[in-house]
Amino acid sequence: MSNAPADLKYTATHEWLKADTDGTYLMGITDHAQELLGDIVFVELPEEGREVAAGEEIAVIESVKAASDIYAPVAGTIVAVNETLTDSPDTINDDAFSAGWILRLQPSNAADVDALMSADDYMQSLAD
% of the chain at pLDDT higher than 90: 95
Confidence at residue 2, expressed as pLDDT on a 0 to 100 scale: 77
Is pLDDT of 50 > 90? yes
Q: Give the end-to-end CA distance of the chain in Å, rounded to a whole number.
A: 15
Is pLDDT of 13 > 90? yes
The dihedrals phi and psi of 87, each to the nearest 5 degrees, come to -95, -25
What pTM, to 2 d.p., does this model score? Answer: 0.95
Q: Which domain holds residue 112?
A: 9-119
Name which of 55, 84, 48, 86 is nearest 72 in CA terms: 55
Is pLDDT of 1 > 70? no
3-state secondary structure of 7: coil
Q: What angle do CA 9, 23, 111 make, to 5 degrees?
A: 55
User: Would residue 127 count as lying in a domain?
Assistant: no
User: Would residue 70 count as lying in a domain?
Assistant: yes
User: Would residue 3 count as lying in a domain?
Assistant: no
Is pLDDT of 8 > 70? yes
Task: Return d(Cα 125, Cα 109) in angstroms, integer.
Answer: 25
The residue type found at 78 is: I
User: Would residue 102 count as lying in a domain?
Assistant: yes
Task: Return d(Cα 79, Cα 64) in angstroms, integer.
Answer: 29
User: Would residue 4 count as lying in a domain?
Assistant: no
User: Would residue 96 count as lying in a domain?
Assistant: yes
pLDDT per position as a tens digit, 76-104 = 999 999 999 999 999 999 999 999 999 99
Task: Return d(Cα 63, Cα 77) in angstroms, integer.
Answer: 27
pLDDT per position as a tens digit, 16-40 = 999 998 999 999 999 999 999 999 9
Task: Return d(Cα 5, Cα 3) in angstroms, integer.
Answer: 7
Number of domains in the chain: 1
